[in-house]
């Protein structure tokens, strides 16, 4: 029998529907991989093998009864531990939420269960989704399944913040996983691990029940092995939700049905400002490959300009911490999560002690930056200025899209780096998201698809950025690249 864990979303769903194998067999196979990899990769904070089996049994019973199985019927997935799941610990990889068992289910996870998916477990991430290497989790680093081809065994970063998701999908611990992207947290980890991930237009997926980081930027999306699987899963996750005030009240298009790698008549923009001085040679080459592939698919290539690109990252590091400092004010040791009550402490002491004990260093750093830039006397100089620059960045894209349909760029400035390499220098770590953040600030759909391996044998990703609401254009260009890149590499199993 084929190894079921080598199958993706579409293959599992169709195989279960046809009766080639049962949903329970699939769940058992992935449960076994999850358990076997946990000590080495630490991709999950909590595994939920029983939930996976239970969901699978329900699908097999439905099939026996001749009922429809749903868009994700029989597909077990990993859930980033930022989505509230009823009765299953939801931590955002923080100590302050350790032991928190939500009484409600996030809209996105509920939609996935309703479509027939099952849960393999809650995936590790950077604490409160703040990080680019999964080194800020209270529950330990996630280790990438990839290793350099130099014979060394350096532990590499799976990217972040959705590092558990990327490691798990690339190591075949799950066929797909949810991610969230605030400033690249789906795309950069996808690029680091040779998988595919899409952040849809801001508002496509409900934020209800997702632990909030920066509400004007946070967007959920799928991470999977290929473009088609992402399209299927995104159709399931997206949709209007009255419980999220910024949810888009628009129908969810049939992205899967309309997938087409034919780029004839389409213009692909190449942003001049993304070709930075000292760009990694292999990254530059993969970008050139991508240009050639899209040309081959029939697209016309045009040079475009996004003049405010260099200001995107600093603007992001004002806006995101500002929103985070406000969102994370809710963790006070009163309503849920950790409480640290030193002897004789009053209420204010309790807040301060709880938050000191419950937040990690990077989270505290961002809360402090956010508090400072929002404080009286500094608000206009920092926050208002950043929001104006954000308007300019959005204008840049609007102008560019009068000349092209989609934009092609690298996903990240390098391949995966070793754990520990960037932890002591926050600014160096932030630079990982230099190509990802502009699309986040403008709320645009953007995806990363694997382009090839670099000289160290590590995956590189290409990023496609689209117009608002044009996930279809992004997915189609992604498919055109996927078909030509022929990326089949996967990490050699060492765990």
Partner 1 sequence: MSVDTATVAKIASLARIKVSEGELEAMVPELNGILAWVEQLGEVDVTGIEPMTAVIPNTLRLRDDVIDADPLTGGGKRDAVLANAPAAEHGFFGVPKVIE
Residues assigned a catalytic role: 80, 161, 185
Among 35, 353, 423, 489, binds partner 1 (CB under 8 A): 353
Give the pair of three-digit tokens for residue 272: 């001049």
Collapsing DSSP states into helix, strand and coil, what is residue 294?
A: helix
| C-alpha 17, offset from chain centre | 28
Indicate whether 493 belongs to the interface with partner 1 (CB under 8 A). Answer: no
Give the pair of three-digit tokens for residue 132: 């680019």
Indicate whether 488 belongs to the interface with partner 1 (CB under 8 A). Answer: no
Nearer to partner 1, 367 or 462 (CB): 367
Among 64, 284, 292, 347, binds partner 1 (CB under 8 A): 347
Among 2, 19, 104, 292, binds partner 1 (CB under 8 A): 104
Smallest separation (angstroms) from partner 1 to the CB of 147: 31
Give the end-to-end CA distance of the chain in Å, rounded to a whole number.
23
Indicate whether 128 belongs to the interface with partner 1 (CB under 8 A). Answer: no
Burial class for 418, CB neighbours closer than 10 Å (0-12, 13-18, 19+): middle
Nearer to partner 1, 284 or 427 (CB): 427
Indicate whether 148 belongs to the interface with partner 1 (CB under 8 A). Answer: no
How far is CA 321 from each of CA 91, 164, 238, rounded to the nearest angstrom? 19, 23, 26
Smallest separation (angstroms) from partner 1 to the CB of 203: 5
Nearer to partner 1, 247 or 476 (CB): 247
CA dist 23 and 35 (Å) reads: 18
Indicate whether 245 belongs to the interface with partner 1 (CB under 8 A). Answer: yes
Nearer to partner 1, 84 or 119 (CB): 84
Give the pair of three-digit tokens for residue 83: 């989505």
Nearer to partner 1, 64 or 334 (CB): 334
Give the pair of three-digit tokens for residue 392: 């300019």
CA dist 361 and 357 (Å) reads: 10
Among 202, 293, 401, 435, binds partner 1 (CB under 8 A): 202
Indicate whether 330 belongs to the interface with partner 1 (CB under 8 A). Answer: no
Give the pair of three-digit tokens for residue 259: 């997938």
DSSP 142: P
Identify the helix (H) or strand (E) that includes residue 271. Answer: strand 267-271
Indicate whether 399 belongs to the interface with partner 1 (CB under 8 A). Answer: no
How long, in residues, is the chain?
495
Smallest separation (angstroms) from partner 1 to the CB of 363: 10
Site for partner 1 in 423-462 (CB under 8 A): 426-427, 441-443
Smallest separation (angstroms) from partner 1 to the CB of 340: 9
Stretch in the footprint of partner 1 (CB under 8 A) among 129-137, 138-146, 241-249, 455-463: 241-249
Stretch in the footprint of partner 1 (CB under 8 A) among 46-54, 176-184, 262-270, 343-351: 343-351
Indicate whether 203 belongs to the interface with partner 1 (CB under 8 A). Answer: yes
Smallest separation (angstroms) from partner 1 to the CB of 321: 9
Collapsing DSSP states into helix, strand and coil, what is residue 395?
A: helix
- Do the beta carbons of residue 277 and residue 434 sit within 8 Å? no
Give the closest residue to 180 by CA, choosing from 191, 171, 189. 189
CA dist 41 and 155 (Å) reads: 10
b/e code 357-396 from CB counts within 10 Å (16+ = b): ebbbebbeebbebbbbbbeeeeeeebbebbeebbeebbeb
Smallest separation (angstroms) from partner 1 to the CB of 435: 18
φ, ψ at 77 (rounded to 5°): -130, 165
- Do the beta carbons of residue 148 and residue 115 sit within 8 Å? no
Among 32, 298, 341, 399, binds partner 1 (CB under 8 A): 341
Rg (C-alpha) for the chain, rounded Å, is: 21
Site for partner 1 in 270-329 (CB under 8 A): 308, 310-311, 314-315, 317-318, 325, 329
Site for partner 1 in 158-197 (CB under 8 A): none
Site for partner 1 in 400-429 (CB under 8 A): 426-427
Angle, vertex CA 155, rays to CA 154 and CA 161, nearest 5: 145
Site for partner 1 in 9-28 (CB under 8 A): none
Size of the site for partner 1 (CB under 8 A): 74
Among 36, 53, 276, 352, binds partner 1 (CB under 8 A): 352
Site for partner 1 in 354-393 (CB under 8 A): 355-356, 359, 364-365, 367-369, 371-372, 375, 378, 381-382, 384-392
- Do the beta carbons of residue 412 and residue 462 sit within 8 Å? no
Indicate whether 350 belongs to the interface with partner 1 (CB under 8 A). Answer: yes
The label of the residue with tokens 């992935």 reads 30
């Amino acid at each position: 029998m084929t190894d079921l864990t080598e199958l993706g979303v579409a293959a599992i769903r169709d195989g279960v529907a046809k009766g080639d194998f049962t949903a329970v067999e699939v769940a058992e196979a992935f449960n076994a991989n999850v358990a076997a990899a946990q000590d080495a990769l630490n991709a999950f904070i909590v595994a939920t093998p029983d939930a996976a089996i239970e969901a699978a049994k329900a699908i097999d019973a439905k099939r026996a009864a001749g009922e429809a199985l749903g868009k994700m019927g029989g597909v077990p997935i990993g859930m980033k531990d930022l989505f509230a799941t009823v009765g299953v610990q939801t931590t955002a990889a923080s100590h302050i939420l350790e032991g928190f068992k939500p009484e409600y289910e996030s809209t996105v996870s509920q939609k996935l269960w309703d479509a027939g998916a099952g849960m393999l477990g809650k995936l590790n991430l950077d604490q409160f989704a703040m990080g680019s290497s999964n080194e800020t989790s209270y529950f330990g680093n996630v280790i990438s399944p990839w290793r350099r081809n130099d014979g060394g065994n350096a532990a590499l970063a799976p990217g972040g913040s959705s590092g558990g998701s990327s490691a798990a999908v690339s190591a075949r611990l799950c066929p797909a996983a949810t991610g969230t992207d605030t400033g690249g947290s789906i795309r950069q980890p996808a690029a680091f691990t040779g998988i595919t991930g899409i952040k849809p237009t801001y508002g496509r997926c409900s934020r209800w029940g997702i632990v909030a980081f920066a509400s004007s930027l946070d967007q959920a999306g799928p991470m999977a092995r290929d473009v088609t699987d992402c399209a299927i899963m995104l159709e399931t996750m997206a949709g209007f939700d009255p419980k999220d005030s910024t949810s888009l009240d628009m129908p969810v298009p049939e992205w899967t049905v309309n997938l087409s790698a034919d780029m004839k008549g389409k213009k692909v923009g190449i942003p001049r400002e993304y070709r930075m001085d000292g760009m990694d040679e292999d990254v530059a080459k993969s970008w050139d490959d991508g240009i050639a592939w899209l040309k081959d698919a029939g697209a016309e290539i045009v040079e475009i300009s996004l003049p405010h690109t260099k200001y995107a990252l600093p603007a992001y590091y004002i806006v995101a911490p500002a929103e985070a400092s406000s969102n994370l004010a809710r963790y006070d040791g009163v309503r849920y999560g950790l409480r640290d009550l030193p002897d004789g402490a009053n209420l204010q002491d309790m807040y301060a002690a709880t938050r000191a004990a419950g937040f990690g260093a990077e989270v505290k750093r961002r809360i402090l930056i956010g508090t400072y830039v929002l404080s009286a006397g500094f608000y206009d100089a920092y926050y208002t200025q950043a929001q104006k620059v954000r308007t300019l960045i959005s204008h840049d894209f609007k102008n560019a899209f009068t000349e092209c349909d989609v934009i092609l760029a690298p996903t990240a400035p390098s391949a995966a780096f070793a754990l520990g390499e960037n932890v002591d220098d926050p600014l160096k770590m932030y630079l990982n998201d230099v190509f990802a953040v502009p699309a986040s600030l403008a709320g645009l759909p953007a995806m990363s698809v694997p382009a090839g391996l670099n000289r160290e044998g590590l995956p590189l990703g290409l990023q496609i950025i689209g117009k608002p609401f044009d996930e279809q254009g992004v997915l189609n260009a992604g498919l055109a690249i996927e078909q030509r890149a022929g990326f089949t590499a996967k990490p050699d199993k060492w765990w």
